Amino acid sequence: MVQRKLTVLQALPALQSGGVERGTLEVAHHLVSRGHRSLVVSAGGGMVDRLTQEGSGHLTLPIGRKSLLTLRLVPALRRYLREQRVDVLHIRSRMPGWVAYLAWRGMDPATRPRLVSTVHGMYSVNAYSAVMTRGERVIAVSDTVRDYIAANYPRIDS
């Protein structure tokens, strides 16, 4: 059986240091090692060299800046999703999540990527944080986070 190779784009604020960033690199490395195409969009940072040396692509966009002006990046990201024929869009942080979600939502549902989000912590419960539960699949990094999501965002199945 021939498995189709996927193009996966992960979106996060920057590739400096931290758990989200390390997890992003681990997923990227795993995808590349299995023959898939790994892409990451962020503002850049010290971990970009390692990411690209391990075979992933990187798009530098300041999608983590907490400003309404950041939403002006939605059309550029939507265009990139189409041009790169992304199969899975994985959001890992709130502001990049909003940019990515709005870009994704504006695409044809028949041809847009699948949307996955990873909730890395217990964010404040508000509309800004709710984007992290808008994925077609939502990953919680722990049972505690899963229970928090279920209690505070009831539309999510646990």
Domain ranges of the chain: 7-152
CATH of domain 7-152: 3.40.50.2000
How much of the chain, in percent, has pLDDT values that exceed 70?
A: 97
Query: 3-state DSSP: the chain helix, strand, coil percent, rounded to 5?
Result: 40, 20, 40
Q: In this predicted model, what pLDDT tens digit does every residue of 76-110 receive, in sequence order?
A: 999 999 999 999 999 999 999 999 999 999 999 99
Q: What is the pTM of this model?
A: 0.93
Distance CA(117)–CA(130), nearest Å, equals 11
Identify the burial level of 24 via C-beta atoms within 10 angstroms of its C-beta, where 0-12 means exposed, 13-18 middle and 19 or more buried.
buried
